[in-house]
């Protein structure tokens, strides 16, 4: 299991801290690039964040902040691995930026 390259402290909810502006405890791990095939790649590359129950449910049910998190994941991956968008697309099949 790879550590997150996006969030170094899994104790707080990523959405609350980065989008809403205050901390609440995280209880769920979320793979930023989801879907059957991409979940394993998210795990391998550390593209995951930690969320509270409400944010995790909202993300899956209503896709709140979904695109923003996919964009953060792609940008972080590109910078962290010094890779190109074409290399990203070969793995994840889509450019989110």
pLDDT score, position 1: 63
- Long-range contacts for 78-83 (Cβ within 8 Å, ≥24 apart)? 80/5, 81/45
pLDDT score, position 59: 87
Is residue 80 very low, low, confident or very high in pLDDT (cuts 50, 70, 90)? very high
Domain positions in the chain: 14-92
């Amino acid at each position: 299991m790879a550590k997150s390259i996006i969030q170094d402290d899994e104790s707080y909810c990523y959405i609350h801290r980065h989008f809403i502006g205050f901390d609440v405890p995280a209880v769920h791990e979320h793979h930023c690039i989801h879907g059957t095939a991409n979940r394993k790649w998210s795990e391998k590359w550390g593209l995951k964040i930690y969320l509270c129950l409400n944010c995790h449910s909202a993300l899956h049910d209503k896709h709140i902040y979904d695109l923003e998190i996919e964009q953060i994941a792609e940008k972080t991956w590109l910078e962290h691995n010094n890779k190109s968008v074409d290399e990203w697309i070969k793995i994840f099949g889509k450019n989110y930026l």
